Amino acid sequence: MTGADTAADLAARRGADDAVVYQPAEDSGLLAEAAVEVARGRVLEVGTGSGWVAAKVAAERDLDVVGSDLNPHAARAARERGVEGVVADLCAPFRENAFDAVCFNPPYLPTDPDNEWDDWMEHALSGGESGRELIEPFLADVGRVLAPGGVVLLLVSSLTGYDEVLALVDEAGFDHEAVVEESFPFETLTVLALRRA
Ligand SMILES: C[S@@+](CC[C@H](N)C(=O)[O-])C[C@H]1O[C@@H](n2cnc3c(N)ncnc32)[C@H](O)[C@@H]1O
């Protein structure tokens, strides 16, 4: 916000951001429930979107939470909720052992490459052809930024292939346990807590 911004400017910008930022839904609610229960210490929410999950964890647990997203409109939305919002590709810019808890509700819908639509909402929803194109690099790197004894909270949809995600979890050297799970007409959502094996 600059000194020249009027309330109308701010409202217009917020409306524009909402149109290109994933708004809280059932998956966000489940991740927040698990994170409020399990997170501790310094927390990173990767792919923070509106910042709603990060802000809820910060408020309900009085924890220090960073919300990161590839989408700069999302990083700004998170900052407007009072969260430290930064632009980042997955865990890339963060240093080793930086966080005690890392949460991620990834883009997970399997998407036919011919039907990719190439905008910020696609980045929020599409997990590529397998549905796991963001989950794979996330799991391969998240252990680097996780402090000893830390926990990863990962939301998994049955649409993404639960067993295939568990194989990636195992390959990355984590044990897993389901913290919350809920079934909807078209999918079952589970939040897994991952800890170094
Ligand atoms: C399903 S939305 C979840 C948003 C929010 N965490 C929630 O639960 O409401 C996935 C988010 O991941 C972000 N995202 C996609 N690719 C990313 C990447 N490579 N690095 C960081 N964030 C990414 C999207 O912009 C989007 O905000």
Tell me: the pLDDT tens digits for 41-95? 999 999 999 999 999 999 999 999 999 999 999 999 999 999 999 999 999 999 9
Q: What is the mean pLDDT of the chain?
A: 92
Using pLDDT thresholds of 50, 70 and 90, give the confidence band for residue 123: confident
Percent of the chain clearing pLDDT 70 (strictly above)? 91
| Contact status, residue 61 vs residue 36, Cβ threshold 8 Å | yes
Residue 2: what pLDDT?
Answer: 41
The stretch 117-129 carries a mean pLDDT of: 87
User: Could you tell me the strand order of the sheet in which 84-87 lies?
Assistant: 84-87, 64-69, 42-46, 99-104, 146-157, 188-196, 174-183
* pLDDT single digits (tens) 178-196: 999 999 999 999 999 999 9
> Where are the domains positioned within the chain?
20-196
- 17 or 58, greater pLDDT: 58
Query: In angstroms, rounded to a whole number, what is the distance separating the alpha carbons of residues 185 and 173?
Result: 32
Residue 140: what pLDDT?
Answer: 98
CATH topology of domain 20-196: Rossmann fold (3.40.50)
Residues 6+ apart with CB under 8 A from 159: 108, 109, 110, 131, 186, 187
pTM (two decimals): 0.93
Residue 5: what pLDDT?
Answer: 53
Q: Check pLDDT > 90 for residue 7.
A: no
Q: Check pLDDT > 60 for residue 98.
A: yes
Residue nearest to atom 17 of ligand 1 (CA): 70
- Residue from 89, 44, 95, 50 nearest 67 by CA: 44
Which atom in ligand 1 lies closest to the alpha carbon of residue 23? 9
- Residue from 108, 107, 111, 88 nearest 99 by CA: 88
- Name the token pair of 195: 């800890």
* pLDDT single digits (tens) 124-153: 988 999 999 999 999 999 999 999 999 999
70 lines ligand 1 (CB under 6 A): yes
Residue nearest to atom 25 of ligand 1 (CA): 124
Q: How far is the CA of 10 from the centre of ligand 1 (A)?
A: 23
Using pLDDT thresholds of 50, 70 and 90, give the confidence band for residue 9: low
The alpha helices in the chain, defined as continuous H runs, are 7-20, 26-38, 52-61, 72-80, 120-125, 135-145, 162-171
104 lines ligand 1 (CB under 6 A): no
- Residue from 88, 94, 176 nearest 142 by CA: 94
